[in-house]
Amino acid sequence: MAINLRTPQAETRDQRLGTITQWEGSAEELARDSAFTYGCGRDCGPGGRRLCELSSPYSQASMCAEQIAVTNATIIKDTVVIQHAPIGCASSQSFTSRYSRDLAARRGWKPEDPKTICTNLSERDMVFGGVDRLADAIREAFERHNPRVIFVATSCATGVIGDDVDGTARQLEEEIGIPVVPLHCEGFKSRHWSSGWDVIEHGILRRLVPNRLNEKRDDLLNVIHLGGPDVFSPLVNPLGLKVNLVMGGSSLERLADLSTAAATVTMCFVLSYLANGLEQEYGVPEIRAPLPYGLDATDNWLRDIARVTKREDRVEAVIASERVRIEPELERLRKALKGRRGFVAAGAAFAHGLIADLRELGVTVDDAFSFHHDPSTDSRDPQQDSLGHLVQETGDIAHFTVSPDQHFQAHAALKRANPNFVLCRHSGSMAILAGRMGIPVLPIFYSNDGLGYEGLLTIGRAILRVLPRRRFYQDVAAHSRFPYQQWWLDETNPYALAADDAA
């Protein structure tokens, strides 16, 4: 199904992909039912059922699409982001102030403060509308920073009062002569914050990727990632490919190169809106092979890149040499991690990848926690069924919980799993929850850490570094408690409350 780039607003992933945020069961079951709902891609036999989302009466604060869209717009260089919102939406600037500098250090850029301006809407603006303030803020941003692009992010408040952000953006664009790109990211519009990725990628696709098909380069590979150091060049440079690393902090030049590349890979299919759009609009093929987590998957991923970019002659040598290179250290890690039980908590395809990594390292994973689930991808290509692939290649995960980072549900899931350690995405409540339950935790800040051959070593070594911290966490756990009722503290079914409610 084509993505619609004609409107300034990206269709949410709830609508496009049937994304759900609440589910409980085995991974095998979830993979099977997902295929049923959105057209059978792989070996789903008959008997699947429609993917039914659970509904919990109790819920806790999580995250919204605005934060994802704004953070990832903010780290595009030479731009200013206007948060057209009351002041609270801009609280996340404290995070981006740190993130921008940290990212700059890892990528070798000059550290700079993020340039984000909040229109600071008041009650009066709620009554009379805030477009004049928006226009002033855009002018101010232009005068202060002389940016090459200005993004305008909407908020729940401007969505409800119906400010004409698109009209104002168009008008100011004519006035100041640079692109003013609206990002429609009202938090209430999507059930899951990952829609924020689609929003920023939609804005990029519509406005920042010029058609440069006559400048095609057969050695350029677009890599769409979540942020962090470039772990991709060492993987694909030996194939004679150069990496065009975008999202997770990029320059406008890199975005402008997107249409000239030979192919696009995504380090997480949650981000594949942009890859899909590039294929649709500019014929840049998206590599859809399962993501490079684990040895075999990495081999096949490289082979697929080689196939699409016509470098098959070189790929086997690269694979062989990489495997030989990491073998001794991989063996050491497997020995050290043998018999350990890990628990993974992250978002959809990213979680599936981390589970594959752990299993490759010899860790037992019977429990996982995914912040959302996409029953399909924009390409509808069954190759991108990362959960189905995981189950098929490495086996089922008995307890697979889908939950939008709900602390109370994570508590039950961790109590049921009682793992030796937790591997999770850095943000949200999981890392501190695990620690407070006495479980060593490895939060992944830069999500490229687990990728490819080297990623196995990176993750394995990092787990070994955190395991001894059990001493600290258990001490804290023994001296603090959570404000849940005793029955919930004892509960091991994350959706006990939903079942209760239905009964």
Partner 1 sequence: MTVQSRFDDSSSGGFSALTGSIEQVRHACALGALASVIAIEGAIPITHCGPGCASKQFQALSSISGYQGGEFHVPSTNIGNKEVIFGGADRLDELIASTLKVMEAELYVVQSGCVPGLVGDDVANVVQAYQRRGVPIVFAETLGYRGTNFTGHETVVRAILDQYVAKLPGPPPETRKGLVNVWSLLPYQNPFWRGDLAEIRRILEGVGLEVNILFGPASEGLSEWRAIPSAELNIVLSPWLGLSIARRLEAAYGQRVLHEPAIPIGARATGAFLKRVGEAVGADLGRVESFIRQEERTYYHYLRDFAQFYAGCTSQYRLPSEVNIVGESAYVLAIAKFFVGDLGVNPGAFVLTENPPESERAAITDAFRDLAPGVDGEPVFEPDGHRARKLIAGRPRIGEYPIVFGSTWEGAVAGEIGAPLVEISYPATDEVVLARSYVGYRGALQLLERTYTTVVRQSTEENPEAALS
Site of interaction with partner 1 (CB under 8 A)? 56-67, 82, 86-95, 97-98, 113, 115-127, 133, 136-137, 140, 144, 155-157, 159-161, 187-189, 191, 193, 404, 407-408, 428-429, 432, 482-485, 488, 497
Segment 418-421 long-range contacts (CB within 8 Å, at least 24 positions apart): 418/341, 419/341, 419/342, 419/343, 419/367, 420/340, 420/341, 420/342, 420/467, 421/340, 421/342, 421/343, 421/463, 421/466, 421/467
- For the chain, the distance separating the N- and C-terminal CA atoms, rounded to the nearest angstrom, is 38
Minimum CB distance to partner 1, residue 215 (Å): 37
Nearer to partner 1, 138 or 390 (CB): 138
Nearer to partner 1, 109 or 484 (CB): 484
Minimum CB distance to partner 1, residue 402 (Å): 15
Nearer to partner 1, 49 or 98 (CB): 98
Q: Which of helix, strand or coil describes residue 389?
A: helix
Minimum CB distance to partner 1, residue 10 (Å): 15
Calpha distance 458→460 (Å, rounded): 6
Tokens 């994802």 map to which residue?
A: 68
Nearer to partner 1, 89 or 204 (CB): 89
- Give the residue from 230, 269, 273 showing the smallest Cα distance to 248: 230
Minimum CB distance to partner 1, residue 474 (Å): 18
Nearer to partner 1, 82 or 354 (CB): 82
How crowded is the C-beta side of 379, counted as CA atoms within 13 Å? 24
Minimum CB distance to partner 1, residue 472 (Å): 14
Tell me, what amino acid is at 96? T
Burial track 10-23 (b if 16+ CB lie within 10 A, e otherwise): bbbbbebbbbbbbb
Calpha distance 388→26 (Å, rounded): 12
Minimum CB distance to partner 1, residue 138 (Å): 10
Nearer to partner 1, 375 or 404 (CB): 404
Tokens 């990489």 map to which residue?
A: 322
Minimum CB distance to partner 1, residue 410 (Å): 9
Nearer to partner 1, 161 or 398 (CB): 161
Cα dihedral: 155, 159, 161, 166 (round 10):
100
